[in-house]
Amino acid sequence: AQSVSQHNHHVILSEAASLELGCNYSYGGTVNLFWYVQYPGQHLQLLLKYFSGDPLVKGIKGFEAEFIKSKFSFNLRKPSVQWSDTAEYFCAVKPPEGAGSYQLTFGKGTKLSVIP
């Protein structure tokens, strides 16, 4: 079955540490890729998205992600995290045009805890 995998369930970092969260997907063809963030008690908000073009995508709040097609990966990075980045992060994939392409499939999420 097609899937989205986030390898880290819970990441704990100190403030100013660098962050990289992994995301791999199993769809072939052209996909749309997203990272969403969910702060405690809130709904999901879009951090960044990749549709085509430059594989290095910059999003809000200093986050960026790199699409590596050969590795089916879309890892999220931030050079220096802040306590306010404490949240759960979800990778999502929209499959290629065709059957099932209406659907946005999510990974299971990675909880990030940033220690002041």
Partner 1 sequence: DAGITQSPRHKVTETGTPVTLRCHQTENHRYMYWYRQDPGHGLRLIHYSYGVKDTDKGEVSDGYSVSRSKTEDFLLTLESATSSQTSVYFCAISLGQGLSEAFFGQGTRLTVV
Interaction site with partner 1 (CB under 8 A): 6, 32, 34, 36, 42-46, 49, 51, 90, 92, 97, 101-109
CB burial of residue 38 (10 Å; 0-12, 13-18, 19+): middle
Spatial CA neighbour of 2 closest among 93, 109, 110, 97: 93
Residue number, 16 or 69, with CB nearest to partner 1: 69
Q: Compare residues 14 and 113 and give the one whose CB is closer to partner 1.
A: 113
Q: Counting Cβ atoms within 10 Å, is residue 31 exposed (0-12), middle (13-18) or buried (19+)?
A: buried
**In the complex, least distance from residue 31 CB atom to partner 1, rounded to whole angstroms:** 11
Q: Which is nearer to partner 1, 15 or 39 (CB)?
A: 39
Rounded least distance, CB 11 to partner 1, Å: 15
Between β-strands 110-115 and 10-14, what pairing exists: parallel, antiparallel or unpaired? parallel
Least Å from the CB of residue 66 to partner 1: 18
